């Protein structure tokens, strides 16, 4: 993800503070290892986490340990409880229908490397889509 998009998330939400730790302590030190198209998914996920923590008066420091792309979907590893894990899982599932590059509706494509892309971004990147949207 572009540095300016990451910084916008880092400035708004405290959940990425582990990025300041070393690679021996966290994978968050590499920042958000996703493409720009998922910025809104991550933003919305953080808003929902914020609301949950506020409404339930949860008094611990929720933190992400890693946010990345895996098998064409968003993966966000954290120290959350069951309810927070359910929120994260919901947005991980959403990522499978959003183009990782541009944020438009997409689908999972690819053979060896798997992506979630819209038809246009798949074409720009020479990734074969078996089914036409």
**How confident is the model at residue 72, as a pLDDT?**
95
Model confidence at 132, pLDDT cuts 50, 70, 90, reads: very low
**How confident is the model at residue 26, as a pLDDT?**
93
Q: Which helix H or strand E contains 73, and what residues bound it?
A: strand 73-78
Q: How far is CA 13 from CA 48, 90, 133, in A?
A: 11, 19, 35
What percentage of the chain exceeds 90 in pLDDT?
A: 82
Is pTM beyond 0.85? Reply is yes
Please give the Cα distance from 129 to 62 (Å, whole number). Answer: 38
Residue 86 or 113, more confident:
86
Model confidence at 128, pLDDT cuts 50, 70, 90, reads: low
Q: Under a CB-based contact definition with an 8 Å cutoff, are residues 32 and 67 in contact?
A: yes
Please give the Cα distance from 47 to 53 (Å, whole number). Answer: 10
**How confident is the model at residue 98, as a pLDDT?**
98
């Amino acid at each position: 993800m572009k540095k300016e998009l990451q910084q916008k998330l880092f400035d708004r939400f405290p959940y990425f503070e582990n990025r300041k730790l070393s690679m021996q302590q966290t994978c968050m030190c590499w920042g958000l290892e996703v493409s720009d198209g998922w910025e809104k998914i991550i933003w919305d996920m953080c808003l929902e986490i914020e609301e949950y923590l506020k409404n339930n008066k949860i008094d611990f420091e929720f933190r992400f340990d890693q946010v990345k792309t895996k098998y064409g979907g968003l993966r966000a590893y954290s120290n959350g409880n069951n309810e927070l894990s359910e929120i994260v899982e919901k947005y991980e599932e959403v990522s499978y229908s959003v183009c990782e590059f541009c944020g438009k509706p997409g689908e999972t494509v690819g053979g060896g490397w798997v992506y979630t892309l819209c038809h246009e971004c798949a074409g720009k990147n020479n990734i074969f889509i078996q089914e036409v949207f």
